[in-house]
Amino acid sequence: MHSIQHYQDLINAELNCRLERIDEPKGLYEPCKYILRNGGKRVRASLVMLAAKMFSPRYERAIPVALAFETFHNFTLIHDDIMDEALIRRNQPCVHVKWNTNTAILSGDAVMILAYTFFEEAREYITAILPLLNKTALEVCEGQQYDIDLEQALLTDALTNEAMYIRMIELKTSVLLAACLKAGAVVGGASASDADKLYEIGRNIGIAFQLQDDILDTYGNVETFGKKIGGDIAENKKTYLVIAALQNLNEGDTQELMRLYAQKTDSAEKYTAVRALFDKAQVLEKANATMNVLYEKAYTILDSLSLAEVKKTELRTFIDELRTREL
């Protein structure tokens, strides 16, 4: 992510100086600092800054809003990792693993409150952006709930369908990216129409990004993909690919896919057999097509913004980088 790298240092420094003021009780705040300082790419904060800069040279005013959204994102990571029983996050043990579940619940709560606290520094924008943060925050919880519902549903359940899956990833991932772009635009003084366009760009690339994740997990290049190929198949995860496959396969192949998806194993045989069924159902083509429509939509909206082309370059490069990533 070269396009946003220059924001990372700024965000890390601003976050750090605020975290230094927080100390006791250590049992509460050490885990908060652990997750907030354990980096990540600061994508959400960077999107706020980048969007503000599109509309105003004084984009530093967006820093508190950027910190609020980035911090909110980190809160979701702590609690989601408990629910998903994840072990590792950004190459480090998850909070509930390094400490325990109660600590992860409570420090997650504190991280969410910190997000709202950083917001206080953005006094002029509070009435405009607080409702956006609140709405988005509830939607992210809704997305997590739909994810749980989908994971618990059978492949044959009515719930397990493409529209539901897209809605889930929209809520779980893309509305936060969308809100970050919109919030930055608002701070930058964008018109309501341009701010809404930024939101739509974020919504589209967020969904596309998640579809790409599903594609890379099964069809990625083992050399460049960060994690093991086939993890989703091994875990029987309900991805876009398996849902799309079920729409396109005949009765016999559907039964076979369901039989394979009843086994929890990371064997090469299972991966090969499932992937063969995916290929037969042409899910890679379908997923790529759906993803491309979303990226194209984002570019079209970007083109339509009432801004000089030079102001759009950074966001355009960011989308290009997302789209061509291999991990």
Using rule CB under 8 A, residue 110 touches its own copies: yes
**Cβ atoms 244, 283 nearer than 8 A:** yes
Using rule CB under 8 A, residue 25 touches its own copies: yes
Using rule CB under 8 A, residue 97 touches its own copies: no
Question: CA 93, 94, 95 angle in degrees (round to 5)?
Answer: 115
Task: Read off the tokens for 33.
Answer: 């600092």
**CA-to-CA distance for 47 and 191, rounded, in angstroms?**
18
Q: Residue 157: left if φ>0, alpha if ψ -120 to 50, beta else—which one?
A: beta
Using rule CB under 8 A, residue 123 touches its own copies: yes
Using rule CB under 8 A, residue 272 touches its own copies: no
Nearest alpha carbon to residue 159 among 172, 173, 147, 174: 147
**CA-to-CA distance for 81 and 88, rounded, in angstroms?**
9
Q: From the CB of 250, what's the least distance to its own copies, in Å?
A: 32
Q: From the CB of 119, what's the least distance to its own copies, in Å?
A: 7
Query: How deeply is 192 buried, as exposed, middle or buried, from its count of CB atoms within 10 A (0-12, 13-18, 19+)?
Result: exposed
Q: Candidates 6-14, 75-83, 183-191, 267-275 — which segment interacts with its own copies by CB under 8 A? A: 75-83
Give the up-direction half-sphere exposure of residue 47: CA atoms within 13 A in the CB hemisphere.
Answer: 28
Position 197: which residue type?
Answer: K
**CA-to-CA distance for 151 and 7, rounded, in angstroms?**
36
Q: Candidates 100-108, 174-182, 193-201, 258-266 — which segment interacts with its own copies by CB under 8 A? A: 100-108
Using rule CB under 8 A, residue 113 touches its own copies: yes
Q: Among 24, 57, 251, 310, which residue sits at the site for its own copies (rule: CB under 8 A)?
A: 24
258: Cα separation from own chain's centroid: 28
Which residues 6+ apart lie within 8 Å of 69 measured at CB? Answer: 44, 45, 48, 115, 133, 176, 179, 180, 183
**CA-to-CA distance for 311 and 178, rounded, in angstroms?**
18
Using rule CB under 8 A, residue 112 touches its own copies: yes
User: Based on CB atoms, which residue is closest to its own copies, 1 or 130?
Assistant: 130
Q: Candidates 19-27, 263-271, 285-293, 299-307 — which segment interacts with its own copies by CB under 8 A? A: 19-27
Q: Candidates 22-30, 178-186, 243-251, 254-262 — which segment interacts with its own copies by CB under 8 A? A: 22-30
Nearest alpha carbon to residue 136 among 155, 116, 111, 120: 116
User: Based on CB atoms, which residue is closest to its own copies, 152 or 300?
Assistant: 152
Using rule CB under 8 A, residue 83 touches its own copies: yes
Q: Among 13, 87, 148, 293, which residue sits at the site for its own copies (rule: CB under 8 A)?
A: 148
Q: Candidates 23-31, 198-206, 222-230, 240-248 — which segment interacts with its own copies by CB under 8 A? A: 23-31
Residue 155-194 contact track with its own copies, rule CB under 8 A, x = bound: ----------------------------------------
Using rule CB under 8 A, residue 87 touches its own copies: no
Which parts of this chain interact with its own copies (CB under 8 A)? 24-25, 27-28, 75, 79, 82-83, 101-102, 105-106, 108-110, 112-114, 116-117, 119-120, 123, 126-127, 130-131, 133-135, 137-138, 141-142, 144-146, 148-149
